[in-house]
Amino acid sequence: MFTSNLFADLAVFLHPLAMQIYIVLMVFAVIIGTLFDMLHKSSAKFFAWKLKKSKAAATRKLSGTDTASIAIKTIAIEVATSGEFCNPKRRISHMLMFYGFLFYLITTVVMIFGYPTPVMPTPVLLPILWNIGVLMILIGGYWFFFFLRVNVVHDGQPLFRLVLADLFIVTLLGSVTFAFIWEIVQSGSNLIATKITFGLYIFFTTLLFGSVRWYKLAHMFYKPVVAFQRRLEEATGSSSLPTPAAHKEGS
């Protein structure tokens, strides 16, 4: 069950081209949603203004090597290890979801486009990595939903009181949970149950990628840019924020 390409088995009732078109549509949905979010919040104008301001206030010019070094540090700390989270539990939860989502997303795309039917044998590693990604998302996601959400843990709100900020985690967990259930049901060769669970999987997946405009998925593109800009400002002396040493001396 966990070593077979569940998307290839869809060929029993769904043409492989349908899933390939669906993936392309979801990519466009994310791009359009992100662009709408940027236009609504004027993010591009803000970043351009910040860059122009920091260049004017810079007291030190960076070499290409310096800039590359800062970019590598940003990727290694803010992106790869979720360095923006001070709470270790939130960081671990975020990293489980982040890397799990990468495994899940990449293997899904490869299996749908590279091995669309059972006629083309799928390497066992792909479905295994897919399942590992799913389990990582489920562990990190449900841990976050039930124990780490700020409005529940710190604000004392009811556990199942949902706000717009919860849209991402709810649709992500719905998508991945029903993907996992669909995989289990499909192995039992019950076509009706397979169609129902697959339909629920598609429903939540469409909500996940189609509602980017209203939740924080677009922030995953902003955060590295903001972190990189902040490090550049610190390195060029154009930052208006106090360094840790200066802050300590003034306290």
Residue spans of the domains in the chain: they are 8-40+70-236
Nearest by Cα to 148 from 104, 96, 87, 203: 87
CA torsion 201-205-207-212 (nearest 10°) is 170
For the chain, residues with pLDDT lower than 50 are 244-251
Contact 134, 12 (CB under 8 A): no
Contact 209, 29 (CB under 8 A): yes
Q: How far is 140 from 149, CA to CA, in rounded Å?
A: 12
Distance set, CA 27 to CA 21, 226, 233 (Å): 10, 24, 33
Contact 48, 162 (CB under 8 A): no
Contact 115, 131 (CB under 8 A): no
pLDDT in tens, 152-202: 666 667 777 788 778 899 999 999 999 999 999 998 878 999 999 999 999
Q: How far is 224 from 70, CA to CA, in rounded Å?
A: 11
Query: What distance separates the 2 farthest-apart alpha carbons in the chain?
Result: 70
What per-residue confidence (pLDDT) applies to 246?
Answer: 41
